[in-house]
Structure 1
């Protein structure tokens, strides 16, 4: 189905903006394609606690307990389930709020207010459960922030909601790892100002874009944003509100810069509001974009990639494979070996990518859906792919694209 197109006025970006590749190994979960589980231990700091949440232990009613919503230094939350009333998280540049135990051992049950906060330092190993009770969710990630292990299976499902947001640019990198979000009405990860590294993440059924990147507001031209080993999927109902209509693009390059998208997975079913898996906007002319070793499952009529810059783009598509009954074309001039429709592809679930089983509870993924209907693997179709690209071969691999089976997830 063709998407419902909207312009920037429809998104009301001005309203949203009022909200307040390093490649280095992750401390938790996965780095690249390697999973290494670690048990984080530490004593919780008591200072600078500005909020309280109820602690739910076993079947007992929640009890009031001070928890460090505004930590001083590194603070570890003891494993358990907590009732979160929507108080704002405030993590300073020298602070870290870390969920103790193994992946998913700290759960915040969102019971009122909105999922909100500002992260200048580090937020790690926190699962949020429950949809947003009030509109306009968002964790604001400042330049230099790190998010490692943030899972929100239910997502916002409210007006103007986005899971992640960057409110300013600059040269300090924002790093997002081992995280998953879904069902956001106004972008999943709305991080189009500073350079970002996003890896081992899943974005499912988000309106406007699952992941939105770009460089502006003081970001130097020499910076590169990286999106690695991520799943972006549109498989079901797309939330929208009175500020927009359903147009669920996958990866949206919104402003100029240099971008590397590698080892990623795009799953698009023929549902109402499905956009293009990758879209490069007319406000991103002069960008350099390299897409390599990616797998696409497409059942829609929409091209895998659309260039809206009018050709003012240095685009390379290398060693990619497309399966599914839909369109396998690249609607752009590009160099590289392009996309083959003759290969096989294996698509991970969010839980497999992130290392968090609760990520598989995001609605619209898993057994019986799209490529997961056959255990996560899908064979190539007979449809011809785009032939407008170059005839080069990858410098990183001696394998021809048509012989590659994508199974990077562990």
Structure 2
């Protein structure tokens, strides 16, 4: 039976395997082919230190998200957890941070696809067309989303492993492309923290598992397992990729290209070899899979916020046949199309990180309030995650920090005005 004012319920159809593939697909595409470049520009040769910091904080966030999702197995993720544990205001902060951060991520993924397959003049129109196609796939139902994501993840992992193995075997003993020279202006703790903040963009995919809480089978068991498993797959993959990039390209060359994995393949075979084509295909498929999962996740958080009246209630509609939040996803698609026509790939990564770090800060604070019955992990992990989110959110590039803070404030003030008028 539907709770008054909440709209129709979504259908539980996803298995643990489906949820793991959605999490892995989101994390692989979200940063593996885009985030290392700006992170290397900030951290230089200490890129692996930044990666380690981002991974530790992400793991803390993952444990908090897992135990909260087990207690509250419904759509919305930390938006719901914040409302239940800390109150409606903090729930809104989490939900708004997620929506703005992941909407930026959607634009980044669409632009990444276009950069790899189209000449400059056609990149923005192609990115808009890709967004429209992905929204259409999600519109048809979550099982189609999960099935396509599974196929895409298998393909991208096979392609990426091919690039990494061939590159490592052929160039491991060679002098780095940049000659081993340090990246100008990079390094130091400020650079390391900024690099970690940018790389956090890559690890945020497990949030999509939590936002699908109303559509997985046996959510109290499935969600925590899927979050931890997807995280365990992705962290070693990122570490190996970063290590090979530093060893073969060097931090300077990694920072200077928007497509470091493609540059790695070019160094092995030249621009006309088959390996660069494999690298481009891997990046395109990975970004496509991430975009598919992102649209599903943001759509469901928007659904939860609309159900509670924090966004227009019309967005809480669930399609009677396909059981998806179709109005929320159509609205998201329209906003992302506008973004891909107005923004660039690198510019949205820091903004996305700020929004998502805000979201996970609320998640960790919410986890700290859980009782022993629902706590699956030590409270120290939630404390470390909360502190880490605050530090990394303040470490993003200044422009991203300022823009993120303004957009977050606009949402909070707007909600305050609406609530006052309703009261």
Which TM class, normalised by the smaller chain length? under 0.3
Task: Select the structure that is richer in helix.
Answer: 2
Higher relative contact order (CA 8 A, sep 6+): 2
TM-score by length of 2: 0.22
